[in-house]
Amino acid sequence: MDAMSSYMASIQQQQPPPPPSPNPVPEMDKQCVNDVI
């Protein structure tokens, strides 16, 4: 699971914080998008 944790951490570090939007995306959707990418 260490590889998975480091993988997710690297993705979060590479992606800039999402800009504020009128309809914020739920955490579940964001995780799905990160997994797809």
Per-residue pLDDT of 8-33, as tens digits, reads: 777 766 666 666 666 655 555 555 55
Pairwise pLDDT comparison (13 vs 6), residue with the higher score: 6
HSE-CB of 27 using CA atoms within 13 angstroms: 1
- 3-class DSSP assignment, residue 26: coil
Q: Residue type for 32, please?
A: C
Token output for 16: 């800039």
Closest among 14, 15, 34 to 26, alpha carbons compared: 34
pTM tops 0.75? no
